[in-house]
Structure 1
Amino acid sequence: MAISRIHPLFLLLLLLLRAFALLPTQAAARGGHDLSDDGDHGSVSRNLLQDKPHITEEMTRGYMSNAELETAVHAFGSRCSNISRVYSIGKSVNDFPLLVIEISDKPRQREAEPAFKFIGNVHGDEPVGREVLMHLANWLCDNYLKDPLATLIVENMHLHILPTMNPDGFALRWRGNANNIDLNRDFPDQFFSVNNDINYRQPETRAIMNWVKQEHFTASASLHGGALVANYPWDGTKDTGKRYYGCPDDKTFRHMASVYSQSHYNMSLSKEFEGGITNGALWYPIYGGMQDWNYIHGGCFELTLEISDTKWPKAAELSVIWEHNRMSMLNLLASLIKSGVHGRIFAADTGRPIPGSVTIKGIDSKVRASRTFGDYHRIIVPGEKYEVMASMEGFRPKSTRIVLEQEAVNLDFILEPDGADGQMKLLRNDYGCRCGSGMMFHVEEAHIWLYLLVLCVVLTLYLVFKRKTASRLLAYRYSPRRPVAV
């Protein structure tokens, strides 16, 4: 009797141990290889070199301080309130607000239009982007309804401008943030798990990541200094080798980079970079970069734009740098509207928009439609033929062929439910929750073992309780007619 009672508990113990063993650890779940062998979650490998450039008071004269920039942003919001709003996406290490200017004819509304973001001052010692982006905002405000290009941009897209991502680094006059971390090495990386521990991620990085999740950005660009070139993904390679390593949308990225370079005063004339553009991994590989993360996790086509040969040029040169980059910035924005394929995805049974995905045959990447309007904006190279397919779980995919000339193609998809119970597979609320039967009962292997673990614990407690109860009733085992409460 004793052996027969212990045996089930022993089996349950084995199940518990197996469940614990099969639950994935954080490192295994995130995958990749750590670039650092210091055992400190990669924090040392992400620290900057100790040799910081010496930036004098003379060099900073004429640049806006952080306080002056904040004042300028709010002043712009007041002066151009009809086509803009100012909002914050978070704060820096030293508690400085990361303020964004949104420019649109309907800046406080969601629309089925492409969204673009410009980010400046990623590196503290590269402040040119701060000044140039304020020039851009003011130019759009001053020329709206006067200049056709300004009017096109304001009325057909939502432009978000973050003049400084790294205000603390600017104030400290060094590359990293207040913790001396290079923010353009702080994002999760596709090849190495060095930045996968969220506890070590910088607040500025988290702010950008949350921002990308909240907004439905089509494309973006960050402004840097120290070279004159338009850089595009991938920024690194699997084996850390320095060579050309293109992403699935390599042709599209080269087109975007060329739009910027060819519109620039002299970027395309570069002797170092053919056509004034470069693949990041070919130039010099980096890991944890913002550019690759945007493309992989946000479906956002981002360029890294080096717009000044000098990291910290004299303030007297800023107006010239702005003029050299003005048409490049405007043409890059306009290309999102004037080219590519745009449309919405609807459910045939309800007529409501759905957040499906759009793929191009031969290109291994997806662009997701927005939850609110089901709108998508796919950047592709003009002058070619494409097969475009829309898909959504619970619906039958649909594809069509298009010829993309120099003008954009508008293409809506109406997807039929997949079978008689297709409608039940997608019960989507206004918060974007997809609660179809397939989703509801789909559980990953790790979660199954977690549920089994809880079940085993409950069963173990039950058996222990039952055994104690049996012991208390042992004195009455010779009285079979005595009632037992269960």
Structure 2
Amino acid sequence: MSSLFLLLAVLIAGPASMLEFRYHSNSEMEQYLLQINASNPEVTHLYSIGQSVKGQQLWVLALGLSPRRHTVGIPEFKYVANMHGNEVLGRVLLLQLINDLVRGYRDNETWSLQLLNSTRIHILPTMNPDGFDEAGTHCQYSQGRFNYNGVDLNRNFPDAFAGLRRQQQLREEKREAEVRAVIGWLRTESFVLSANLHGGALVASYPYDNSNKDSELVDGASVTPDNDVFVHLARVYSHSHASMHRGDRCDDSMPFLEGITNGYQWYPLSGGMQDYNYVWAQCLELTLEVSCCKFPPVRELPALWADNKKALLAFMQQVHLGVKGRVFDASGVPVQNAVVEVKGRRNMCPFRTDQHGEYYRLLLPGKYSFTVKTNTLNVPYGPDNYSAMKHDFLLRRVSADPTQSNLPHANLTPADPTPADPTPADPTPTFLLPQKKILI
């Protein structure tokens, strides 16, 4: 059925009713999203980031006070589910989350108003609709994991840790349609925080998933410059979950202390989505394994939603950690691609301002020195107030050549590498500034 006919059916049907606890087909899910969007246009916007191999739309519902476009100062957040087609609980959880957010907003419930007033939330309930169509219902061993071309989408992203030969191969490889859609999505939206929902274990996993077996390896973990923030984020989800924090093991799974793990320490993987988000899109992403069973029985869905609801909401609130602001030149013009680095956190690709001159740095409370300007910032705990600390930087015009000191932006570096050239940029700022194995 075409989207036009579905939309007509939705408009005839009227406002969305209570969402059933069951597994909705891809067409049913599409109809539900169209219905929610048509009934709540003031806080929702439905858009597609592309199509699957078989041509199914990859629908995203954006929610917020300005759902159609970015608002300066409002961070962008996303949830992605069903990357592996046979790991299906995430689809149910994200549809229920949409339902609750919209209902709460209509009913003027404080928790929903706070989230939607302060955050633009993007929800992609299925990244692999073709795999879902083929999925078996066995708890662990079933078909449907891969996309229609038989590719594991969570091994198909550019990998920052690939060697030079592998880097060249990556440039030449054809990426899967679903992966290309997500990479394009990350280019159009400046996401700050994200999680992708999987199944087959009960744990919050954080980057890195891969390693050069170099200085990033610490006690068997592949540690990012923002490891303290990632551990905090994982704990927020785990300890807000009904049981994840206990670290109970699933069948054929190891126990996890506090219900969290470094991805590489659990098992290394190349081409993962969460590493790509962090390295090239400056978006901190977790992989949330939300159920021991990849395809839980329908009767268990209400309880599983109850287990995860609080955690899903608490994690979204963490997008307000740290500090946010804008970088302006001496004329008050926002500066795009200005490096905003925090002392002691040297990312493979430097964090840069977006097209609006904005930056967002998720940081735990404390004092931090920024290289944009010789400033020390005392960062409070933003999620309590649904807003990171706001701090703008005003830059002087400087140049390597003193005779050219009045040229604006003379020393801005190029944007981050595109997926066609996945080699990380030189992390040195060049903007001259004052200072069994079951596959999971």
Q: What range describes the TM-score normalised by the shorter chain of this pair?
A: 0.7 to 0.9
Say whether the 8 Å CA contact 1:229–1:305 is kept in structure 2.
Answer: yes
Which residue in the other structure is 2:378 paired with?
403
Distance across 1 between alignment mates of 2:172 and 2:28: 32
The answer as to 2:353 corresponding to 1:369 is: yes
Larger Rg: 1
Deviations 1:204-224 (A, max 9, x none): 000000110111111111000
Match of 1:335 among 318, 323, 330: 318
Measured after TM superposition, the shift of residue 200 of structure 1 is: 2.2
Partner secondary structure for residue 108 of structure 1: coil
- Return the alpha-carbon distance in structure 1 between the equivalents of residues 196 and 406 of structure 2: 42
The residue correspondences of 1:66-77 to structure 2 (distance < 5 A) are 66-77=26-37
- Give CA deviations for 1:65-114 in whole Å, capped at 9, x if unaligned: 11111111111111221101000000000000001000110112321111
- Residue 418 (str. 1) matches residue 398 (str. 2): yes
Partner of 1:256: 233
Secondary structure of 1:351's counterpart equals coil
Match of 2:179 in 1: 205
Distance 1:117 1:385 in 2: 28
Instruction: State the Cα distance separating 1:413 from its structure 2 match.
Output: 0.4
State the Cα deviation string for residues 406-431 of structure 1 (Å, max 9, x = none). Answer: 233211101111056345353xxxxx
State how far apart, in whole Å, the 2-side matches of 1:114 and 1:85 are: 16
Shift, 1:198, TM fit: 4.9
Q: CA deviation at 1:354?
A: 1.1
Q: Give ranges in structure 2 of 5+ residues lacking alignment.
A: 1-20, 136-143, 249-254, 383-387, 415-440
- Indicate the structure with greater helix content: 1
Cα distance in 1 for partners of 2:364, 2:310 equals 20
Cα deviation for residue 439 of structure 1 reads 7.2
Show the counterpart of 2:49. 89
2:95 paired with 1:134? yes
Partners of 1:222 and 1:305 within 8 A in 2: yes
Shift, 1:367, TM fit: 2.3
**1:69-468 residue pairs with structure 2 within 5 A?**
69-112=29-72, 113-144=74-105, 146-173=108-135, 174-192=144-162, 193=166, 196-239=170-213, 243-271=220-248, 272-337=255-320, 339-348=321-330, 350-355=331-336, 356-365=338-347, 366-371=350-355, 373-382=356-365, 384-390=366-372, 398-407=373-382, 408-419=388-399, 421-426=404-409, 436=410
Q: 1:322 to 1:399 in 2, by over 3 A?
A: farther
* Cα distance per residue 1:146-195 (max 9 Å; x no partner): 22221121111111110000000000111000011000000011222276
More moved, 299-308 vs 139-148: 139-148
Q: Per the alignment, in what secondary structure is the counterpart of residue 381 of structure 1?
A: coil
> What SS does the corresponding residue of 1:235 show, helix, strand or coil?
coil
In the alignment, the residues of structure 1 paired with residue 411 and residue 145 of structure 2 have an alpha-carbon distance, to the nearest angstrom, of 50
Secondary structure of the 1:363 match is coil
Tell me, yes or no, if the aligned pair for 2:187 and 2:281 is still in contact at 8 Å: yes
Are the aligned partners of 2:81 and 2:90 in contact in 1 as well (CA < 8 Å)?
yes
Distance 1:327 1:197 in 2: 41
Q: Give the Å deviation of 1:243.
A: 2.6
| Structure 2: distance between partners of 1:163 and 1:266 | 23
Matched-pair identity in %? 38
User: CA offsets per residue over residues 365-409 of structure 1, 9 Å max, x none?
Assistant: 2322221x2121110112x2211232xxxxxxx131122232332
Match of 2:418 in 1: none
The count of residues paired between Structure 1 and Structure 2 equals 360
Structure 1: unaligned runs, 5 residues or longer: 1-60, 391-397, 427-435, 441-486
The one-letter amino acid of 1:169's match is G
Contact 1:425 1:438 in 2 (8 A): no
Residue type matched to 2:90 in 1?
A: G
Is the Cα–Cα contact under 8 Å of residues 225 and 310 in structure 1 kept in the other structure?
A: yes
Whether the aligned pair in 2 keeps the contact of 1:149 and 1:334 (CA below 8 Å) is no
Distance 1:238 1:410, change over 3 A: same
Instruction: Evaluate the alpha carbon distance shift between residue 351 and residue 277 of structure 1 in structure 2; reply closer, same or farther with a 3 A threshold.
Output: same
Measured in 1, the distance between the counterparts of 2:397 and 2:359 equals: 20
**RMSD (Å) for aligned C-alpha atoms:** 2.1
- How far residue 357 of structure 1 moved from its aligned partner, in angstroms, is 2.3
CA gap of 1:224–1:416, structure 2 versus 1, over 3 A, is same
TM-score (ref. length: structure 2): 0.78
| CA distance in 2 between partners of 1:439 and 1:175 (Å) | 40
Contact 2:22 2:92 (C-alpha < 8 Å) held by counterparts: no
In 2, the alpha carbon distance for the partners of 1:231 and 1:437 equals 38
